[in-house]
A and B are shown apart, each in its own frame.
Chain A
Amino acid sequence: AQTVTQSQPEMSVQEAETVTLSCTYDTSENNYYLFWYKQPPSRQMILVIRQEAYKQQNATENRFSVNFQKAAKSFSLKISDSQLGDTAMYFCAFLGSSYKLIFGSGTRLLVRP
């Protein structure tokens, strides 16, 4: 069975600085997708970034980028120029052949002014 592990329950970063959130996963599948979702206090789940496993190039979306290491089964999220609005819970998620999203336990990120 696939598992997703986020080892950092909480992180804190100064506004305008860079922070990296860690995520590792376990799977025997070769083709899959990885996601980072953001859940602010409103509790609306917002897609931050998506990575297809068959693509070697790391995905980027403006200030958000990932470091995808397929062999190591690692998928970290880097947030550059952190903004107060980035304060939220961040979930790493895996999607394999079952088409069911498997979430990590989440990392609570606080951006300090």
Chain B
Amino acid sequence: GAVVSQHPSRVICKSGTSVKIECRSLDFQATTMFWYRQFPKQSLMLMATSNEGSKATYEQGVEKDKFLINHASLTLSTLTVTSAHPEDSSFYICSARDREGAGETQYFGPGTRLLVL
């Protein structure tokens, strides 16, 4: 149980294009999903909190117009990197909070490696 998927696992795009990353909770409902960014050999940095049916909450320094988040259902959140630039190249990870589970545990997706040329 408690499986989270992400798609795509890897994407290469040209500078100026937009890229959408999907995060799905496969066997549980997630009222809240989180999006992280991880640079090589560094820790995870929270970008935003995504709540089903409402606007996402962004961390300080994260451009909401650049990183569009939609949480349309209890099992799906999407992150769209708009007008991507090489500095947006990174590893993006989502997590989902199990609505019914105990202990406030977040389960993580396998991540998406984005390379912007």
Contacts and interface: CB of A to CB of B under 8 A. Distances in A.
Interface of A: 33, 35, 37, 42-47, 50, 52, 91, 95, 99-101, 103-106
A43 to B, nearest CB: 5
Could you tell me the dominant secondary structure of chain B's interface residues?
Answer: strand
Contact of B95 (A33, A45, A50, A105): A45
A26 B43 CA distance: 18
Nearest to A102: B46
B28 interface: no
Contacts of B87: none
A37 B97 CA distance: 15
A45 B93 contact: yes
Interface stretch (B17-25, B64-72, B75-83, B107-115): B107-115
Contact of B32 (A44, A99, A105): A99
A43 B43 contact: no
